[in-house]
Amino acid sequence: MAPAAPTDDLDAAAAAIGRGELVIYPTETVYGLGADGLDPVAVERVFEAKRRSREDPLSLAVPDVEAASEIARLDDLTRAFMNRFLPGPVTVVCEKRSVVPDALTAGRDRVGVRVPDHDIALALLDRVAPITATSANVSGGDSAGRIADLDEAIAEAAAVIVDGGETPGGGSTVVDPQRRVVHRQGLLADEIDAWLDAHA
């Protein structure tokens, strides 16, 4: 069982995000790099830290499906899909609302949404959301399942690192339920395929 993060660490992380800074937090897959997902300047800091192409969109993490509806337009099928698979290792692609900056989505009209199935991540999201949901690594490098595995440059870029012990690993399945497109196969991929087939 993963250790619980001290409340002070979560409060410090939430405060840092509120100031436009970066934090590292655990999820049910790997460690994530979080920033205020609605602040274009903070989003740019994520791209810089990861050395990530601005043409490669970032996803957002929220605490629940209702919060997702505040940043994305959810049709009935997408909402049903979210209620089935979230929280969980799934990134749901849906139509973004205008509050989501173009910098985050590389100008696209859709955004990936995550509700991580991890107590510490959800506790952070209860304090501040939405935050960016992207692995805490330099683009092209290995994802980190432990704090000790973090790339030095990423660790130095973060104002706060929330230690949740070792994470389970793996990657989220990225799926657009409305368009019935699976962009990336990951955890729960077979169950997701079966659900989409059943709702075709």
* Statement: residue 177 has pLDDT above 80: yes
pLDDT one-digit tens code per residue, 47-60: 999 999 999 999 99
| Per-residue confidence (pLDDT) for residue 178, from 0 to 100 | 95
* Statement: residue 61 has pLDDT above 60: yes
CA torsion through residues 101, 107, 111, 116, sign: negative
Give one DSSP letter per residue of 162-178, joined into a string: -----------EEEETT
pLDDT one-digit tens code per residue, 142-159: 999 999 999 999 999 999
Give the predicted TM-score (pTM) of the model.
0.94
Hey, what domains does the chain have and what are their CATH numbers? Answer: 7-198 (3.90.870.10)
Among the listed residues 52, 54, 48, 51, the one whose alpha carbon sits nearest the alpha carbon of residue 21 = 48
| Per-residue confidence (pLDDT) for residue 8, from 0 to 100 | 86
What is the spatial distance between Cα 20 and Cα 39, in angstroms, rounded to a whole number? Answer: 7
The distance from CA 124 to its chain's CA centroid, rounded to whole angstroms, is 12
Band (7; pLDDT cuts 50, 70, 90): confident
What is the spatial distance between Cα 27 and Cα 36, in angstroms, rounded to a whole number? Answer: 17
| Per-residue confidence (pLDDT) for residue 1, from 0 to 100 | 42
